[in-house]
Structure 1
Amino acid sequence: MLRTPESAPARPLIIGHRGASGYRPEHSESAYRLAFELGAEFVEPDIVATSDGVLVVRHENEISGTTDVADHEEFRDRRTTKTVDGQSLTGWFTEDFTWDELSTLRTRERLPKLRPDSAKHDGEEPILRLSDVLGIIDEESERAGREFGVVIEIKHAAYFQAAGLDLVPILIRELLRSGWNERPARLVIESFELGALDRVRESGLRGKLVFLAERIGAPADEPIGDDPKRSYGWYRSDDGLDLLAGRVHGISVAKGDLLRLDALGNAVGPTTLVERAHARGLSVYTWTLRPENRFLNLGFRSSLSPSEWGDWSGEFGMIVESGVDGIFVDHPDLGAQIVAPGFSA
């Protein structure tokens, strides 16, 4: 179940980030099944919508980097430019396709230069709906004889709502239909937009709610109602945590927000964020733990090669020492190693 400060275990929850996305193209069936084999307890699908209101699992609604859509001659005319949460993007967008059309696409590795072994699996698998992922979790739970869980991220909620595809009621209907509303200990809903989480809470949906906070910028739905516009940094302040404590169960932050740096940018220990959040009854989760030098703090890099693995166990260990309740990992086996009793970096 989702960890809470009152019953926090000696180790954090291991969450497979888009499945085992360090080994297989993200959000593919093999990535999700492999995540559980490698030690993940929960997995994290991101949800966006099709033109006919089907929730599909993609990190972004622009899909040229993670599918073969550009190779489909019949979809060439769908290429367009849109502004999503203030960012101009050119490509192909899920909301311009029906599910039947998207089901013809195949997954691709998002970072082929960094993860060539994963890229070898390009084109092997179709993209998935949220309903497919929930079915995989049920199957893997039965196979393993234990109950696995899901962390569902609502992507670009305000953007989709303005486009007439409100993700919140679509998600609620899917969870009610599939019976996942009856599994609150295994269900987490997260979003970078607090307004979306407010609406999920007000619906009476069971499960835990987690607010995602980027390092910089502000949520796309700010300001909410009559409140002033608030940055992600403000939400990590004491005042921000006070507000969140009355509206969500936890906060999920970039790992850099848990690492205290010296003048050279080297991580030297944890910040006070976990301690301050726990004092308000909030769980804390962090993303994304990855072993490649490109993603590690300067002090843990082994070389100038971005794809070479550095001292991942040193960085992961420092983050775990902060007291964090859950870690999002691309390589669930590394997460399992770092939280194992007696593991030494």
Structure 2
Amino acid sequence: MRVVRSFFLFLTGLLAYSSASAQNGAVMHSKQLSTPIVIAHRGASGERPEHTLGSYGLAIEQGADFIEPDLVLTKDNVFVARHENNIAETTDVADHPEFADRKTSKVIDGETQTGWFTEDFTLAELKTLRAKERLPQLRPGNTDYDGRFEIPTLAEIIALAKRASAETGRTIGIYPETKHPSYFASIGHPMEDRLVEQLHAAGWDSADAPVFIQSFEVNNLKKLHDLTKIRLIQLMYESGGPADHAVPGYAAMMTPEGLRAVAAYAFGIGPNTGLVTDPKVDLVAHAHAAGLRVHPWTFRAENYFLTPEFRNGDNPAAHGDIEGAITEALAIGVDGFFTDFPGKGVEARDRFLRARTGQ
């Protein structure tokens, strides 16, 4: 039944895509003739603990175009990849008695959190920790890899991408997210100059570089816009607003006027998947009209993350029709997408392109 449903969605979506392209003219047409990129969200995080060299390496093996590190800073101002600066859920720090007194509570972007925070550790200290699976209830197989991987630095991730590009003959890019940049600036660890300096030193200093920098904040991206030609992506969500309060809320960004304002400093937007498929918002068409690319996040295989039409049974951890969900977004016209399962993402993207070109 899921195969039939996926084919039906693919066919109707492809027809809708063709109609939309015709209606939106040359801007839409030029945007959609390029190959949508597959962005490995925290690596192949559906199959390995996120933000580890093991996760990024598997994503590259599976054909991802970009690997995505979330960036936070250490006490000695080194960029490392963690989902949050609070590492209680993603490392074995709680098992290290020597760091017991580092546990504390902080207010991050208006939310009180308790745990251990990267800005209270030097890189050398963080390197004594090991990564663990953040979602063990949904991804129990990933726990087999707990304790195997260190916390990687941005420098190590850049080196991995460059080495893989040389070995495979493909260009492997990176897609870093600045996490909580206004918070880090408030405690004396601003990110912008450090990040640009490191990327430029790697030879990535132009709009053609295999790099996108993304952020949920606005002023962070505007500062980066003044420092580099590297492409920038404004992240957005269906509720709330940027932590720096630069705009009233994300909803204001999604209007045609708001998207034109975003286009003054960003190359594209990164909305959550629900915004892309909501016909009342029509976000992809409006973004393309403003000259912005659209890279939604995040396609995951587990039923827990899928909308009802793509689920397979009632077990939250069981895998549903992620390929169908990705195909739906591609048919709407996205220019790329984030996924925890880049192998499945590459398959869905390539199948869509073959059908679109009649090959």
TM-score under structure 1 length normalisation: 0.91
| Shift in alpha-carbon separation, 1:174–1:132, aligned structure 2, 3 A | same
User: 2:233 aligned with 1:217, yes or no?
Assistant: no
Give the C-alpha shift of residue 271 in structure 1.
5.2
Deviations 1:46-97 (A, max 9, x none): 1000111111111100001111111001000000011100111100000000
Residue in structure 1 matched with residue 351 of structure 2 by the alignment: 341
Structure 2 residue matching 1:286: 3-state secondary structure: coil
User: 2:126 aligned with 1:116, yes or no?
Assistant: no
Deviations 1:15-45 (A, max 9, x none): 0001111111101111111101111001111
For 2:94 and 2:81, the matched residues in 1 are separated by: 18
1:268-307 to structure 2, matched below 5 A, reads 272-307=282-317
Structure 1 residue matching 2:319: 3-state secondary structure: coil
Say whether the 8 Å CA contact 2:256–2:290 is kept in structure 1: no
Say whether the 8 Å CA contact 1:45–1:151 is kept in structure 2: yes
> Which one of 37, 41, 53 corresponds to residue 29 of structure 1?
53
Say whether the 8 Å CA contact 1:21–1:27 is kept in structure 2: yes
Give the C-alpha shift of residue 176 in structure 1.
2.4
1:9-88 to structure 2, matched below 5 A, reads 9=33, 11-88=35-112
Give the C-alpha shift of residue 181 in structure 1.
2.2
Give the C-alpha shift of residue 238 in structure 1.
1.5
For 2:74 and 2:93, the matched residues in 1 are separated by: 14
Give the C-alpha shift of residue 270 in structure 1.
8.8
Deviations 1:273-296 (A, max 9, x none): 111110111001100000100000
Structure 1 residue runs of 5 or longer lacking an equivalent are 224-228, 261-268
| Shift in alpha-carbon separation, 1:305–1:241, aligned structure 2, 3 A | same
Give the C-alpha shift of residue 11 in structure 1.
4.2
Give the C-alpha shift of residue 184 in structure 1.
3.3
| Shift in alpha-carbon separation, 1:339–1:271, aligned structure 2, 3 A | farther
> Which one of 146, 150, 164 corresponds to residue 188 of structure 2?
164
Give the C-alpha shift of residue 118 in structure 1.
1.2
Q: As a proportion of its length, which structure holds more helix?
A: 2
Residue in structure 1 matched with residue 328 of structure 2 by the alignment: 318
Residue in structure 2 matched with residue 238 of structure 1 by the alignment: 256
Identity of aligned residues (%): 41
| Shift in alpha-carbon separation, 1:237–1:309, aligned structure 2, 3 A | same
Residue in structure 1 matched with residue 171 of structure 2 by the alignment: 147
For 1:206 and 1:57, the matched residues in 2 are separated by: 23
What residue identity is the alignment partner of 1:253?
Answer: P
> Which one of 267, 270, 273 corresponds to residue 252 of structure 1?
270
Give the C-alpha shift of residue 298 in structure 1.
1.8
Q: Which range moves more in the overlay, 269-278 or 39-48?
A: 269-278
Q: As a proportion of its length, which structure holds more strand?
A: 1
What residue identity is the alignment partner of 1:283?
Answer: R
Say whether the 8 Å CA contact 2:204–2:230 is kept in structure 1: no
What residue identity is the alignment partner of 1:217?
Answer: G
Structure 2 residue matching 1:81: 3-state secondary structure: strand
Q: Which runs of 4+ in 1 moved over 6 A?
A: none
Say whether the 8 Å CA contact 1:193–1:211 is kept in structure 2: yes
Structure 2 residue matching 1:159: 3-state secondary structure: helix
Give the C-alpha shift of residue 103 in structure 1.
0.8
For 1:178 and 1:11, the matched residues in 2 are separated by: 25
User: 2:186 aligned with 1:176, yes or no?
Assistant: no
Give the C-alpha shift of residue 250 in structure 1.
0.4
Say whether the 8 Å CA contact 1:270–1:321 is kept in structure 2: no
Residue in structure 2 matched with residue 104 of structure 1 by the alignment: 128
| Shift in alpha-carbon separation, 1:87–1:160, aligned structure 2, 3 A | same
Give the C-alpha shift of residue 139 in structure 1.
0.8
Say whether the 8 Å CA contact 1:270–1:319 is kept in structure 2: no
What residue identity is the alignment partner of 2:238?
Answer: R
For 1:33 and 1:41, the matched residues in 2 are separated by: 12
What residue identity is the alignment partner of 1:201?
Answer: H
